[in-house]
């Protein structure tokens, strides 16, 4: 260490600042007399100055003490410390000028200091005091740098967040990083330097990594372009570079960022897309000041919807779910995140008509977002009766009550598995859609469909993460299987947008982007975890599960959708349902009493002719 571990005593700092001020005064006089130091000149000037020097020292000590420039930790000198020093020296100069005017006009006719000396003394004192502090800071930063093998790092983002990341890394004695450069999407910044560190354009990433043997990239951009970030991460994974990220500024502890908060990038960051632009004014007109009911509020989508809706300040938000513990967690989270939000937590089952009647009668909701459902394909394939009770009977209860209590809009959250369903779960959601779309009343019924949601309960990514934590293997049902993915915030935002744009009777489908091979997803998650496939962990092919498709239906086809004003929301073209469908659905629900799964699935296929089972015991019902 080049500096003592303990803080320098404050009195030493005060003496040093005063000494540098006196040195500045001396230099100012030297320059005033063109560096000539003849004896008679020194004697004459000292005769005038000697009467002022005591006052000079006293003023400096008092002003420096008032501005507390000795209080800052010198090794952590900041721009705020610099500002205080400039202010203190400037105040001293003003006092000297004012006192000089008093002396010249009321005492012996001499100024305290010549004007040229005052100006130069201010400049020299500021430079010397500030310069000494930054010199100590530089020595300290060099002394705390790890002397072991440094990890060569690129910081992605040459903005404020990137700069803060650089400074935080340099201050952290435990960090063994050596910053090679900044990476940025702005071509105008390429070739420039930021605090001595070169800025490279993202197009040169591969070359920079290979020529400098970079081992880690830290993403410090708070809101990066999703396509650019994906390309950067893909390149890093290909070259074996570890990728980490700086958290959102909201997560910084007391507004301060620490190197301990740098974390590994997640697969969600690679699959997310550009932020969705919402018609917030239209949404605000429909939701603000209204009573809104969210069913399945404790689930992944339901809780996401609750948070999105809360931002629009409804008069009351009703959170309905049968899951007690998740509801309790959501309740506590909302109290922290939205302290002004008025909400009620209701534990109840949508299958209970009496309980739902009480909810609607008590709260009189203006808007209903229906997210409650059973969604796991293999489980519903084994338990068709439960799919019928929750997804169909539960929806019928809510739809009928929405009409009875004159709900303004009812937004049903469905799934892309309802398109040409191959399983009981998808068919049950399609039947629920049919019931809602064919119910007559003042309520406007709107259906939204989308695919898999990243990080939702029971989705593939949490499963893979759990398997990674346990040492593997990661299980994939088939090497060919692909899925569309969307983040929870994306899905919830599009539900809000679609709900407010609908006038009743529409089924909206979301642009899910490009499909992703599940096995590629598994491989990337292994890479992001710093593991090597085949060496540290394996992937196991288990075979398709009952009712599972190899490829999900692509909803955004021109032949079965129409565009809307929002580029990511399309309107589905649906066939006209005959008037007997409601009666058939009621008859299906009545079959529950017989507890015969085959009869129930047969009835479901009658209601949804395109329901063709796949890899399921119910395939026998499709044989002609």
Secondary element (H or E) of residue 119: helix 115-144
Which pair of structure tokens corresponds to residue 322?
């049968």
181 contacts: CB under 8 Å, gap ≥ 6: 154, 155, 197, 198, 199, 200, 208, 212
Helix ranges (H only) for 350-423 are 353-363, 377-382, 384-387, 395-404
Q: Which residues pair with residue 178 across a beta bridge?
A: 152
Confirm whether 417 is a catalytic residue.
yes
Given 60, 245, 417, 429, the catalytic residue: 417
Question: Dihedral angle at the C-alpha atoms of 539, 541, 542, 547, nearest 10 degrees?
Answer: 120
CA-to-CA separations, 3 to 40, 262, 382, in angstroms, rounded: 44, 28, 71
Whether the bond into 473 is cis, omega within 30 of 0: yes
Nearest to 619 by CA among 611, 375, 544: 611
Q: Which residues pair with residue 317 across a beta bridge?
A: 292, 343
- The whole-angstrom distance between residue 67's C-alpha and the CA centroid of its chain comes to 40
Q: Go through 331-351 and write b for each residue having 16 or more CB atoms within 10 A of its CB, e for each that does not.
A: eeebeeebeebebebbebebb
Is residue 431 helix, strand or coil? helix
Nearest to 564 by CA among 426, 446, 438, 433: 446
271 contacts: CB under 8 Å, gap ≥ 6: 454, 485, 487, 516
Greatest pairwise CA separation for the chain in angstroms = 123
Strands 482-483 and 516-517: antiparallel
Q: What is the Cα–Cα distance from 272 to 232, expressed in whole angstroms? A: 14
Q: What is the Cα–Cα distance from 344 to 316, expressed in whole angstroms? A: 7
Q: Which of the 8 DSSP states describes residue 259?
A: G
Question: Dihedral angle at the C-alpha atoms of 36, 40, 41, 45, nearest 10 degrees?
Answer: 150
Q: What is the Cα–Cα distance from 171 to 493, expressed in whole angstroms? A: 40
Which pair of structure tokens corresponds to residue 621?
């019902």
**φ and ψ at residue 339, rounded to 5 degrees:** -60, -25
Q: Go through 397-414 and write b for each residue having 16 or more CB atoms within 10 A of its CB, e for each that does not.
A: bbbbbbbebebebbbbbb
- Contact 425/377 with Cβ under 8 angstroms? yes
Q: Annotated catalytic sites, by residue?
A: 417
């Amino acid at each position: 260490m080049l500096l003592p571990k303990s803080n320098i005593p404050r009195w030493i700092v005060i003496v040093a600042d005063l000494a540098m001020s006196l040195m500045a005064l001396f230099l100012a006089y030297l320059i005033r007399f063109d560096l000539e130091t003849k004896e008679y000149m020194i004697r004459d000037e000292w005769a005038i100055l000697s009467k002022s020097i005591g006052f000079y020292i006293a003023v400096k000590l008092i002003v420096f003490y008032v501005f507390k420039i000795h209080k800052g930790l010198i090794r952590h000198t900041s721009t705020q410390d610099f500002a205080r020093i400039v202010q203190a020296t400037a105040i001293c100069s003003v006092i000297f000028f004012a006192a000089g005017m008093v002396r010249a006009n009321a005492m012996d006719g001499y100024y305290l200091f010549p004007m040229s000396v005052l100006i130069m003394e201010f400049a020299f004192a500021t430079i010397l005091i500030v310069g000494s502090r930054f010199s100590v800071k530089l020595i300290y930063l060099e002394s705390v740098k790890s002397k072991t093998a440094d990890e060569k790092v690129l910081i992605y983002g040459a903005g404020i967040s990137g700069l803060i990341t650089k400074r935080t890394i340099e201050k952290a004695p435990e960090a063994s990083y050596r910053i090679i450069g900044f990476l940025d999407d702005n071509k105008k910044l390429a070739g420039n330097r930021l605090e001595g560190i070169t800025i490279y354009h993202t197009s040169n990433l591969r070359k920079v990594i290979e020529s400098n043997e970079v081992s880690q990239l830290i993403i410090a951009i708070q809101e990066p372009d999703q396509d650019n970030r994906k390309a950067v991460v893909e390149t890093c994974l290909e070259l074996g570079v570890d990728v980490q990220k700086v958290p959102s500024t909201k997560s910084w502890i007391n507004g301060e960022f620490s190197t301990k908060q740098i974390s590994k990038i997640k697969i969600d960051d690679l699959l997310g897309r550009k932020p969705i632009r919402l018609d917030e004014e239209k949404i605000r007109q429909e939701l603000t000041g209204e009573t809104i009911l969210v069913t399945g509020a404790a689930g992944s989508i339901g809780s996401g919807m609750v948070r999105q809706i809360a931002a629009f300040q409804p008069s009351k938000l009703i959170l309905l779910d049968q899951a007690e513990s998740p509801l309790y967690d959501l309740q506590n989270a909302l109290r922290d995140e939205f302290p002004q939000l008025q909400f009620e937590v209701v534990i109840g089952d949508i299958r209970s008509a009496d309980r739902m009647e009480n909810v609607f009668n008590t709260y009189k909701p203006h808007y209903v977002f229906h997210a409650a459902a059973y969604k796991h394909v293999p489980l519903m394939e084994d338990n068709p009766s439960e799919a019928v009770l929750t997804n169909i009977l539960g929806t019928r209860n809510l739809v009928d009550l929405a009409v009875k209590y004159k709900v303004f809009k009812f937004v049903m959250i469905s799934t892309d598995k309802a398109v040409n369903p191959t399983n009981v779960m998808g068919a049950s959601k399609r039947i629920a859609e049919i019931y809602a779309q064919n119910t007559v009343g003042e309520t406007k019924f709107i259906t939204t469909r989308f695919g898999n949601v990243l990080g939702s309960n029971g989705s593939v990514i949490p499963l893979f993460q759990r398997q990674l934590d346990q040492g593997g293997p990661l299980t994939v049902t088939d090497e060919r299987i692909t899925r569309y993915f969307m983040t929870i915030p994306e899905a919830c935002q599009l539900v809000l947008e679609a709900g407010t744009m609908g006038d009743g009777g529409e089924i909206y489908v979301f642009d899910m982007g490009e499909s992703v091979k599940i096995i590629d997803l598994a491989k990337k998650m292994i890479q992001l975890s710093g593991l090597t496939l085949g060496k540290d962990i394996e992937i196991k092919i288990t075979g398709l599960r009952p009712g599972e498709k190899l490829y999900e239906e692509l909803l955004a086809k021109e032949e079965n959708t129409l565009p809307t004003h929002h580029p990511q929301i399309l309107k589905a073209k649906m066939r006209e349902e005959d008037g007997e469908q409601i009666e058939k659905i009621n008859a299906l629900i009545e079959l529950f009493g017989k507890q015969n799964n085959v009869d129930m699935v047969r009835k479901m296929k009658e209601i949804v002719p395109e329901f063709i089972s796949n890899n399921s015991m119910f395939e026998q019902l499709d044989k002609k």
